[in-house]
Amino acid sequence: MLYVDPLGKVTEISYANNHINKLKKDTMLYEERLSSVNKVAHSNNIIFSVYSILAVIFIFMVLILLRKLHI
């Protein structure tokens, strides 16, 4: 990228290109972080579902045992 100052001197600047690449990299990192958070949330939902199913089975077993004991 070229920069022309008011006196007519032309200089090449590379920091603008580096800045654009940094923004692209940050955007990619943001998307990767978002993807990671979505994976963790999905994993937590699966774990919660498994624990809920196990809790329901345990409660049914306790109710069946209480029913057989005639308390």
pLDDT digits (tens, 9 = 90+) for 43-62: 999 999 999 999 999 999 99
Distance CA 26, CA 63 (A): 55
Question: What's the pLDDT at 29?
Answer: 81
What domain range includes position 23?
2-69
**Residue ranges of the alpha helices (H) in 4-71?**
15-69
**What single letter denotes the amino acid at residue 44?**
N
Could you give the number of structural domains in the chain?
1
What pTM was computed for the model? 0.56
Helix (H) or strand (E) holding 2: strand 2-4
pLDDT digits (tens, 9 = 90+) for 15-43: 666 667 777 777 778 888 888 899 999 99
